[in-house]
Amino acid sequence: MASERASENWELGGHGDPWNSADEVPLSRRQGANQQNRTVPGSQSPGDSIADPSSQTDSERNPDKYLLELVDIEAGYGRAALVLRGLTVRVPPASVVCLVGPNGAGKSTVLKVASGMLTPRSGRVLVGDQDVTGRGPQRMLEAGLSHVLQGHSVFKEMAVSENVLLGAYTMKDKSEIADRVDFVKSLFPVVAQRWSSLAGALSGGQQKQVEFARSLMVSPRVVLLDEPSMGLDPKATATVFEQVARMRDAGTAVLLVEQNARRALETADLGCVLDLGRVHIAGPAADLLADPQLADLYLGNRRAAGESTPPAGSTATNSTP
């Protein structure tokens, strides 16, 4: 019922909207879309739920298998209709899981639920072996979730160092701060190079790296990144995605929301396509990129224009950690 109502309420995006470029048929009515949580063909082997970050199968609780689990989440704002309608997303360790989908699909709302900014009406939020459903942002931060919000959140009148050290505000053991500063400086060289500069003097892409560095000060288990490439030029966007991969390679899992679907999936290990508040299709990011139907629907069909797909395994690794 909810699905049918949701489909009826679908509104097409404007012309030029890459999410709705194929034709004027709602995604949820397209071939195969009647099956919730479809996985990309060939992406899932029996028992291999990590290949599907939206798996509904409640596998044996194993805190080592997933760092963050949002299970069967229903959430919305105030008395308005639900935005998330039974969504499940799971984030394995040392992986980048990317949420893509049309405007208004609920991607940012997923991050707000994960970070405790929005309490779900039903469903569970698990961080490792802790059920943290309904806890506020402070508790989520303590549990190991760090949220980098959409847009720019550096304090431009403050030095890079001051911005980064704000991330240490909640650290209980202040003796660890120096080690964390060394760590984020090594991960983001521009932070080290511009440590004493005013943050406002940095480019947009550099400021985004300051935000990443600040989010890592608390040694989070999972970083939630909302549209990190927003407002950046292609070169800065490329750098930001390289840094996302570096965060993952340094051991921090990332749950990423992006409009730049192709670029994000090239960086991610696993991907979920959201539609109308549910995971519509999920699987290894490389498989999503190679799926011709998805390319048609979401990625501007550049393959059909003769453009090659990204090299398999170039950055989309670790799908089975």
Ligand X SMILES: Nc1ncnc2c1ncn2[C@@H]1O[C@H](COP(=O)(O)OP(=O)(O)OP(=O)(O)O)[C@@H](O)[C@H]1O
Query: Whole-number minimum distance, CB 109 to ligand X, in Å?
Result: 3
Q: Which is nearer to ligand X, 110 or 199 (CB)?
A: 110
Alpha-carbon distance of 18 to 101, in angstroms, equals 10
Residue number, 83 or 199, with CB nearest to ligand X: 83
b/e sequence 154-186, b meaning 16+ C-beta within 10 Å: beeeebbbebbbebbeeeeeeeeeeebbebbbe
How do 278-284 and 38-39 pair as beta strands?
A: parallel
**What amino acid occupies position 47?**
G
Question: Please, what is the minimum distance in Å from the beta carbon of residue 312 to ligand X?
Answer: 27
**DSSP strand pairing (270-275 vs 38-39):** unpaired
Q: How far is the CB of 100 from ligand X (least distance, A)?
A: 9
Amino acid at site 137: P
Output 18 or 104, the one with its CB closest to ligand X. 104
220: left (phi over 0), alpha (psi -120 to 50) or beta: beta
- Which is closer to ligand X, CB of 22 or CB of 198? 22
Instruction: Name the residue nearer to ligand X (CB basis): 106 or 228.
Output: 106
- State in angstroms the smallest separation of the CB of 83 from ligand X: 4
Smaller CB distance to ligand X: residue 21 or 259?
259
Least separation, in Å, of the C-beta of 6 and ligand X? 12
The token duo for 99 is 């949420």
CB of 151 to ligand X, least distance (A): 11
Residue with Cβ nearer ligand X (194 or 262):
262
Residue that the structure tokens 């609780």 belong to: 61
> Which spans of this chain sit near ligand X (rule: CB under 6 A)?
77, 80, 83, 101, 103-109, 259
- Angle formed by the axes of helices 234-249 and 177-187, nearest 10°: 130
Residues in the chain: 321
Question: Residue 273 in 3-state DSSP?
Answer: strand
Q: How far is the CB of 112 from ligand X (least distance, A)?
A: 7
Alpha carbon distance 204, 51 (integer Å): 34
What 3-state DSSP class applies to 87?
strand
Kind plus residue range of the DSSP H or E element containing 78: none
